[in-house]
Structure formats: C-alpha cells, structure tokens
C-alpha cells in the first residue's frame, strides 16, 4: 500500500533507475517499477515491482490508470521515454515533451528526416523497409546498418566493403525493429564524442564533452563503446560549433526543458551528429556529470518531467575521468572479482555491478551485456590510461561455475 503517497511508475530497472527511484522515494513518492525481468537492478529500492514489459505502452497505460499514478517516468531509455510520454499524454500527466516529439527523438529514421530538413550536419542515409530496397542505395563505404527503433545498440553493424553480406545484415536489422524498418547511412571517420547538455527554456547549456572509446573499431560486428574519457580536450572553435548544433536540435525538435545527450563525430574542424536522445545517458553518466561538474543531472531530469524550474549551476571539471565497462563472454553471470589493492591504493574511484548474479549473457555485444563498470580519476589523461591498465590486469568476471569469462579482446 502507498499510505496515501503519490504514486510514480518507473519504466525499466537499470542502474541509473535505481538512483531515480531513490530520488523519487526522497520526494515522497510510492514507487512502482515496471520491468519484464525477474530481478532488475532497481527492484531492491522500489516499493513494488510489476513484471511487465515497459515497452508495452497500452499495458503501462492500464497499470498507470489502475494504480492512479501521478507520474510515469523513464530518464535514461529512449523507447521507455516514448512509452512514458504516450501514457502521460493519454492521462494528462506531467511530461517533458509531447508523444509526437518522443517518437521523433527515439525513431532513428524520423530523427534523420528532421535533422536533414533543418540542416543539422549528419551523414547521408536511406530508409529500408524491404530487402529489395537495397538495390536503390547509393552510399560511400563503409556504411552503418541500424534497426530504426531498437535499444542497447542491438543490430547495429558496420559494413566496410560491397563484398560483405549486406542482405543478411539488413534482414537482421529489419527483424529486430519493432516497426520492421532499418536505416543505412554513411560511416563518417573521426573521433566519436558524447555531448551532455541540458535544455532550459529552449536554450542549450553544454555541460561536458567526452570521448566515446569504441570496441574493435575495425570490426563490423560491434558498434559499441567500452568506456569514455571525460572531458575530451577540444578547441574553442569546436565547442562553439557544438553549441550551435545542440541549439539547432533543440529548436528543430521543439525541446524546451529536458536533458539532451548527443553522439557525434569530430572530424578535423567539423562536427557531425550520429544521433541523440532527449534524456540522460545510461550507465554512469549521471554520476560522473555530478561529480565532475557539480550539476545533478538526474535530479534535473526528474524536474523536467514534473515541470519544475531548474537551476543550472555547474563548473568546468577539475580532473579527467574515465569510465570503463566490463563485458563478458556468453554464459550465466556468477561474480566479478578484483584485487583489494585497487581500493587501498585509490586506483579506481568506484566499481559498480550492472548485472546481478544469474543474468544470462548473450553472444552479441550490446550495452545490455555490460556486467560492470569502474571509474578512474587523474589530473592527466596519461594518468587515466595507467590506472585503466592496472585495473584491467587485476579484475576478472566469472560465470556461476567459476569459469573466467571476461572479454579482454575488446580493449
């Protein structure tokens, strides 16, 4: 029972949503977590867990209506954000933007269309609904194939030459898409960066720019990151271009008060948008932004749903930080072991377990298959790399039978 507290429905039980639920609890909400998993990470702090698919908008609508919830929220998931806006619009609950906008900022095809229409720098692309559409594609290789509306980086593939099996890869992307649509775009060479911003009253504040460190950059099977460097050194000229592009996005998509995370390619003196989300990043983004800039990104994201005024007080980072994900080979997760010396000697700031014991790890490398993350800090980037190497030499992932299953080939 909620003891007459206002009820908040939280969609998805990820690690950042554990912090989200704790924040809502402190605000006086009775929290109900909706997640299809038996034991999602955030379950332990929720008042109640309903085992349902958070992407099933009509089922979430039914739960929200039945439980008379006053808030339905997801702060770090694209598709669950769309569900939250769908339900909020139906029930006239608070939300950061309309459901129509939610669709445009979560469906990669709609997103590309709007970016092209508003002259936001991005790569040339094609929409594919049928394998026969491939014949009309005129793009320079390498190319990227993506489902239009998946999460966790599922189905994203890099194809380097025309000789590769494009039909098989596109077919897989179409199968994974809920709308059975895929997007094929030109691959832009350069340094991949992540730009964390906040939009207040339609104006964008750029909080921090990080480097997104990619897994096996020459491999076509894994368009995933294994970590990030916060902040990445950039020129004032590039920073100004980033500000202009971020405000173009906010204006084109009618974003007024919301977090905004942008994935982009920095190529010499140019910046090209890959995609973006009107939400906070997954993993440790919210924690690192608060630690490095003083801005409580998660708290502000909640206020954006509630329509509260948000004070954007932040400072430039005093240190460099690195986040590093641990991936594992297929199996059933047992535990992660690391040397106590890493703690005693202050080698890492903290380690956080992203998946619980018993989690089934698949063969495909996606963000859903990250089992843990550690963070290091230094006053130089070189110092970060030294600490990262030391941690990786002293950490291991084991399955339930005690076999080592950490993927070391990705670093």
- Asked if 208 and 289 touch (Cβ cutoff 8 Å), the reply is yes
Q: What is the pLDDT of residue 220?
A: 43
Strand duo 203-214 + 225-230: pairing:
antiparallel
Residue with token string 């409580």: 296
- Asked if 46 and 10 touch (Cβ cutoff 8 Å), the reply is yes
User: Rounded to whole angstroms, how far apart are CA atoms 366 and 217?
Assistant: 15
Worst-scoring range by mean pLDDT, 73-87, 107-121, 151-165? Answer: 151-165
User: Rounded to whole angstroms, how far apart are CA atoms 311 and 322?
Assistant: 27
Query: 31 vs 169, which has greater pLDDT?
Result: 31
Tokens of 18: 């554990």
Residue 266, SS3 per DSSP: strand
pTM: 0.90
Worst-scoring range by mean pLDDT, 25-29, 77-81, 334-338? Answer: 77-81
Q: Given a cut of 50, is residue 253 above it in pLDDT?
A: yes
Q: What is the pLDDT of residue 131?
A: 83
pLDDT tens for residues 199-237? 999 999 999 999 999 886 445 445 678 899 999 999 999
The H or E element spanning position 34 is: strand 30-34
Q: What is the pLDDT of residue 224?
A: 79
Give the mean pLDDT of 355-372: 85
Residue 293, SS3 per DSSP: helix
The crossing angle, in degrees rounded to 10, of helices 297-306 and 285-293 is: 110
Give the mean pLDDT of 192-196: 96
User: Rounded to whole angstroms, how far apart are CA atoms 362 and 329?
Assistant: 7
148: CB partners within 8 A, 6+ apart: 107, 108, 109, 127, 177, 179, 181, 182, 183
Q: Given a cut of 60, is residue 152 above it in pLDDT?
A: no
Q: What is the pLDDT of residue 335?
A: 96
- Asked if 59 and 35 touch (Cβ cutoff 8 Å), the reply is no
- Asked if 376 and 325 touch (Cβ cutoff 8 Å), the reply is no
Omega before residue 142 within 30° of 0, cis = yes
pLDDT tens for residues 52-110? 999 999 999 999 999 999 999 999 888 999 999 999 999 999 999 999 999 999 988 99
Tokens of 218: 């020459």
Give the mean pLDDT of 112-140: 90
Q: What percent of the chain has pLDDT over 70?
A: 96
Query: 125 vs 178, which has greater pLDDT?
Result: 125
* Mean pLDDT, all residues of the chain: 92
User: Rounded to whole angstroms, how far apart are CA atoms 226 and 206?
Assistant: 23
Query: 319 vs 129, which has greater pLDDT?
Result: 319
Which domains are assigned to the chain? 7-95 (3.40.50.20), 100-116+190-318 (3.30.470.20), 124-186 (3.30.1490.20), 322-411 (3.30.470.20)
Residue 148 pLDDT grade (very low, low, confident, very high; cuts 50, 70, 90): confident
Tokens of 286: 């919210």
Worst-scoring range by mean pLDDT, 92-106, 325-339, 347-361? Answer: 347-361
Query: 411 vs 227, which has greater pLDDT?
Result: 227
pLDDT tens for residues 265-319? 999 889 999 999 999 988 788 999 999 999 999 999 999 999 999 999 999 999 9
Q: What is the pLDDT of residue 133?
A: 79
Residue with token string 């399955």: 399
The crossing angle, in degrees rounded to 10, of helices 57-66 and 78-91 is: 50
pLDDT tens for residues 29-51? 999 999 998 888 899 999 999 99
Q: What is the DSSP string of 193-255?
A: EEEEEEEETTEEEEEEEEEEEESSTT-SS---EEEEEESPP--HHHHHHHHHHHHHHHHHTT-
3-state SS, one letter per residue, for 58-96: HHHHHHHHHCCCCEEECCCCHHHHHHHHHHHHHHCCCCC
Q: What is the pLDDT of residue 61?
A: 98
244: CB partners within 8 A, 6+ apart: none
Query: 324 vs 354, which has greater pLDDT?
Result: 324
User: Rounded to whole angstroms, how far apart are CA atoms 104 and 205?
Assistant: 21
């Amino acid at each position: 029972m909620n003891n007459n507290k206002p009820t908040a429905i939280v969609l998805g039980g990820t690690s950042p949503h554990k912090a989200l639920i704790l924040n809502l609890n402190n605000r006086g909400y009775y929290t109900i977590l909706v997640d299809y998993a038996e034991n999602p990470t955030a379950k332990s702090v929720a008042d109640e867990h309903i085992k349902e698919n958070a992407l099933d908008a009509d089922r979430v609508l039914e739960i929200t209506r039945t439980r008379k919830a006053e808030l339905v929220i997801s702060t770090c998931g694209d598709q669950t954000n769309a569900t939250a806006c769908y339900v909020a619009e139906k029930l006239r609950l608070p939300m950061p933007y309309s459901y129509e906008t939610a669709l445009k900022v979560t469906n990669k095809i709609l997103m590309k269309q709007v970016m092209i229409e508003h002259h936001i720098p991005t790569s040339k692309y094609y929409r594919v609904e049928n394998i026969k559409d491939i014949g009309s594609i005129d793009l320079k290789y390498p190319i990227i194939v993506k489902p239009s509306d998946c999460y966790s980086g599922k189905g994203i593939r890099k194809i380097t030459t025309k000789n590769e099996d494009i039909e098989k890869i596109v077919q897989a992307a179409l199968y994974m898409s809920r709308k059975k649509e895929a997007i094929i775009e030109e691959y832009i060479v350069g340094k991949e960066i992540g730009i964390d911003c906040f939009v207040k009253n339609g104006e964008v504040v750029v909080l921090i720019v990080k480097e997104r460190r990619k897994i096996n950059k020459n491999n076509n099977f894994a368009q995933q990151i294994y970590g990030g460097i916060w902040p990445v050194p950039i020129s004032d000229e590039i920073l100004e271009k980033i500000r202009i592009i971020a405000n173009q996005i906010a204006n084109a998509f009618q974003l007024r008060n919301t977090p905004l995370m942008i994935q982009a390619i920095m190529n010499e003196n140019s910046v090209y948008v890959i995609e973006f989300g009107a939400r906070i990043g997954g993993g440790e983004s919210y924690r690192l932004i608060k630690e490095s800039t003083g801005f409580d990104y998660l708290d502000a994201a909640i206020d954006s749903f509630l329509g509260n005024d948000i004070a954007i007080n932040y400072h430039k980072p005093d240190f460099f930080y690195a986040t590093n994900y641990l991936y594992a080979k297929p199996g059933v997760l047992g535990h992660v072991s690391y040397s106590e010396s890493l703690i005693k000697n202050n080698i890492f700031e903290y380690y956080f377990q992203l998946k619980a014991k018993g989690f089934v790890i698949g063969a495909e490398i996606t963000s859903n298959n990250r089992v843990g993350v550690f963070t290091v800090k230094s006053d130089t980037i070189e110092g970060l790399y030294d600490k990262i190497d030391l941690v990786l030499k002293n950490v291991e992932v084991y399955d339930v039978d005690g076999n080592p299953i950490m993927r070391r080939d990705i670093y």
